């Protein structure tokens, strides 16, 4: 179609010629350049005129960004010595899982930390003066298995060991890192637990994120993380349950509730070894409200549904809609710190004027009923006579003379 329009335009332009004589080239005289024309051509590079002409032909910027993040491609590796495997990277909220390790190991690799609400943030280590700042986290013996190894004389052949002597030593066997090494997010360990509840008197085990009573908003991806070694070694699968929690002092007891009646979302069976679950708040979770308090509990595969306590080892946080930027006042923070997080604060605020009004009415009636028992005439009379009120040592106070006043009309001698 474009080519047809171009040809049509050229044909129309050809019909502009009136006669064949118009097609004959006519010799024209070349104009002699003037001084003004040379000065227009040979302008300085910093001239505003050149900048103005350059702006006319400058290519306009595109409204859409041309830089598109390249999707990681699958790669091949060998595991357990001889098994070939194709690894497919997965990107979740700019966090790349199963990414191919970089060959240049001279510099520390970036890793992903988690904020208190479970949102990710990338940490890029740097080396300064031979010291690595913000290095990748280490986990000590948290993910190692302690085992006792018994050695006899024949095994060790130690020079200071008797032939009938037995030596026992505790050794730590590292976990299988074939797949956990492809996870760039910081793992949950007991040293990252936090204290939950209003009194901060209970550990968050096995949870590390999100923290208790944090606010999670729609439109972002958050990561639930837990300590995988919290359960028995034979637990390979876990399931997460999302339920609504009513923040009321009458229902704060950790009561046993039915999964069918209280849970509004449950995951399938997840691999416990991963220790994380990414999720995004759905519209229907809010039930038409601006926010909801929810609790997330984790159920190991060795606990049946009828034996599982929904709020046992759970974490409670708030899910909210997107809103304008709002900064809490000092008064609101003080109210939250005092443990008032529900509608009771409004009852307290509304009751304050009522208490003041009742006090004012009672004071009025008290003064009205005792008006005949009040006599301030003596006090008024003594005050007008410049007497000091009261008696001292059984004697009446005498009149006192006023102090001399400085008169501006007086002249200093």
What does 147-183 look like in DSSP terms, one character per residue?
EEEEE-HHHH--TT--TT--EEEEEEEEP--TTGGG-
Output the CA torsion sign for 178, 181, 186, 191. Answer: positive
- 237 CB-near residues (< 8 Å, 6+ apart): 269, 270, 271, 272, 300, 301
The predicted model gives 77-93 an average pLDDT of 94
Separation CA 100–CA 123 (nearest Å): 18
Q: What is the CATH number of domain 190-337?
A: 2.60.40
Among the ranges 52-56, 66-70, 299-303, which has the highest mean pLDDT value?
Answer: 299-303
At residue 350, the pLDDT reads 77
Segment 196-247, tens digit of pLDDT? 887 888 899 999 999 998 999 999 999 999 999 999 999 999 999 999 987 6
pLDDT tens by residue, 320-347: 998 666 566 777 777 666 666 556 666 7
Closest CA to 206 of 155, 249, 142: 142
Cβ atoms of residues 189 and 142 within 8 Å: yes
Cβ–Cβ < 8 Å for 310, 243: yes
Max mean pLDDT among 91-105, 254-268, 380-394 falls in 91-105
Taking the model in full, what pTM does it have?
0.62
Whether 120 shows a pLDDT value over 80: the answer reads yes
User: How confident is the model at residue 372, as a pLDDT?
Assistant: 73
* Confidence band of 18 (pLDDT split at 50, 70, 90): very low
CA dihedral 97, 99, 104, 110 (to 10 degrees): -20
Q: Are 204 and 196 in contact (CB under 8 A)?
A: yes
The fraction of the chain above a pLDDT of 70, given in percent, is: 65
Q: Quickly list DSSP for 4-45.
A: HHHHHHHHHHHTT--SGGGGS----PPPPPPHHHHHHHS--T
Whether 14 shows a pLDDT value over 60: the answer reads no
Provide the 3-class DSSP secondary structure of residue 345.
helix
Secondary structure class of 83 (helix, strand, coil): strand
Return d(Cα 113, Cα 125) in angstroms, integer. 12
Mean pLDDT over residues 79-90, rounded? 94
Question: pLDDT tens, 279-295?
Answer: 999 999 999 999 999 99
């Amino acid at each position: 179609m474009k080519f047809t329009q171009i040809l049509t335009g050229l044909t129309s332009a050809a019909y502009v010629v009136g006669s064949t004589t118009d097609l004959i080239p006519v010799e024209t005289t070349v104009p002699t350049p003037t001084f003004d024309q040379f000065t227009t051509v040979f302008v300085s590079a910093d001239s505003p005129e050149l900048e103005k002409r350059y702006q006319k032909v400058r290519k306009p910027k595109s409204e859409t960004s041309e830089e598109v993040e390249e999707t990681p491609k699958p790669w091949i590796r060998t595991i357990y010595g001889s098994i070939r495997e194709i690894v497919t990277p997965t990107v979740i909220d700019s966090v790349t899982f199963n990414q191919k390790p970089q060959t240049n190991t001279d510099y520390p690799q970036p890793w992903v930390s988690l904020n208190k609400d479970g949102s990710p943030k990338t940490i890029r280590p740097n080396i300064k003066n031979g010291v690595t700042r913000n290095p990748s986290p280490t986990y000590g013996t948290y993910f190692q298995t302690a085992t006792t190894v018994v050695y006899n004389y024949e095994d060790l052949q130690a020079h200071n060991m008797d032939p009938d002597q037995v030596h026992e030593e505790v050794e730590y066997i590292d976990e299988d890192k074939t797949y956990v090494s492809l996870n760039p997010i910081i793992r949950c360990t007991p040293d990252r637990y936090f204290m939950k509840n209003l009194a901060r008197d209970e550990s968050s085990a096995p949870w590390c994120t999100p923290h208790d009573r944090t606010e999670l908003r729609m439109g972002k991806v958050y990561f639930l993380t837990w300590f995988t070694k919290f359960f028995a070694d034979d637990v390979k699968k876990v399931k997460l349950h999302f339920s609504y929690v009513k923040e009321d002092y009458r229902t704060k007891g950790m009561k046993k509730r039915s999964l069918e009646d209280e849970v509004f979302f449950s995951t399938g069976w997840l691999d416990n070894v991963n220790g994380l679950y990414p999720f995004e708040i759905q519209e229907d979770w809010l039930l038409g409200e601006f926010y909801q308090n929810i609790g997330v509990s984790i159920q190991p595969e060795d606990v049946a549904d009828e034996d599982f306590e929904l709020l046992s080892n759970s974490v409670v946080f708030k899910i909210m809609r997107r809103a304008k930027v709002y900064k809490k006042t000092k008064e609101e923070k003080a109210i939250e710190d005092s443990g008032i997080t529900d509608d009771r604060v409004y009852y307290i605020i509304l009751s304050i004027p009522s208490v003041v009004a009742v006090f004012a009415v009672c004071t009025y009636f008290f003064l009205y009923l005792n008006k005949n028992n009040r006599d301030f005439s003596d006090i008024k009379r003594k005050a007008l006579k410049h007497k000091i009120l009261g008696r001292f040592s059984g004697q009446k106070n005498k009149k006192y003379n006023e102090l001399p006043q400085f008169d501006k009309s007086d002249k200093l001698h």
